[in-house]
Copies of this chain bind each other. A is one copy, B any other.
Amino acid sequence: MSRRTVFFVSDQTGVTAETMGHSLLTQFEGLEFRAVTLPFISTVDKAEEAVRRINRAAAEEGARPIIFSTLVQDELREIFVTRANALFLDFFAAFVGPLEAELQTRSTHRAGRAHGIADLAAYTTRINATNYALANDDGAGGDYEHADVILVGVSRSGKTPTCLYMALQYGIFAANYPLTDEDLEAGTLPARLEAHRRKLYGLTIKPERLHQIRSERRPESRYASRQQVQFELRAAEALFQRYGIPVIDTTECSIEEIASRILNNTGIERRLRP
């Protein structure tokens, strides 16, 4: 079967179109797709150029492409509907009608500001949360007073990217602390962390996976060895249990999933909506 090209078409960044398209395509296993994002399609000229590109792909591949569109302006959508040799999946058309009826309000049909800058307050929240995550990463900083959550776990269990993601996506103040050999051997938390016990959330991971991840970084090292990894994870899990710290196993989880599960389990309020 020939490979299909999938186009994500948007008058803005294309993030929504990509997210929705990707989510749907994962429902079709075993098929191969080539993904192309066409963002900022905000004029007739750009729309016509996009259609030419889409039609070239159709001709070259002998299978019509799939378009995931979040375009909102009727004039631009029309160009794709009438001229593109493609399956046009129109996010806007599918849902705006029912929403207008329900809300008894006409939508603006104006180019989305979904990922535009909302206001200075929201921007500031996001930047402050990101700076907080950077300043309180990997045991540094230690400003746990202002933390919404403090992730604890051994090296490479996923703490740093999860904190950054929570900051950027949700404006959450997330610190992280890597359990040291001393912490693990003593089986106790440093006093400055214990004072904020209720904010702690443990990350763990399967030993084999951690061995793989650490081996990518320092092959053949003691740090990456099965024995060391097993010791650290067992000691960390014992410590979590001792202090009653909730734990998530990150082995099968993406960063999005880790972040969502922690928010869901703790009830921490998002300061920002995507």
Residues of A near any B CB (own CB < 8 A): 4, 12-16, 18-20, 22-24, 26-29, 31, 35, 37, 39-40, 64, 66, 70, 72, 87, 89, 91-92, 94-96, 98-99, 102-103, 105, 107-110, 112-118, 120, 123-124, 126-127, 130-131, 134, 137, 160-161, 164-165, 168, 212-213, 216, 252-257, 259-261, 263-264, 270, 273-274
Contact = CB atoms under 8 A, between A and B. Distances in A.
A134 to B, nearest CB: 7
A113 B26 CA distance: 7
Given A28-B105, A112-B26, A168-B165, A35 B254 contact: no
Contacts of A116: 252-254, 257
B16 A124 contact: no
Nearest to A66: B102
A34 to B, nearest CB: 11
Nearest to A6: B273
Contact of A94 (B27, B37, B94): B94
Given A14-B260, A87-B98, A168-B168, 14 more contacts: A16-B19, A20-B20, A22-B273, A24-B92, A24-B95, A26-B114, A27-B72, A28-B107, A37-B263, A39-B260, A39-B261, A89-B95, A89-B98, A127-B213
A75 to B, nearest CB: 16
A43 to B, nearest CB: 14
Nearest to A29: B108
Contacts of A15: 19, 256, 260, 274
A175 to B, nearest CB: 15
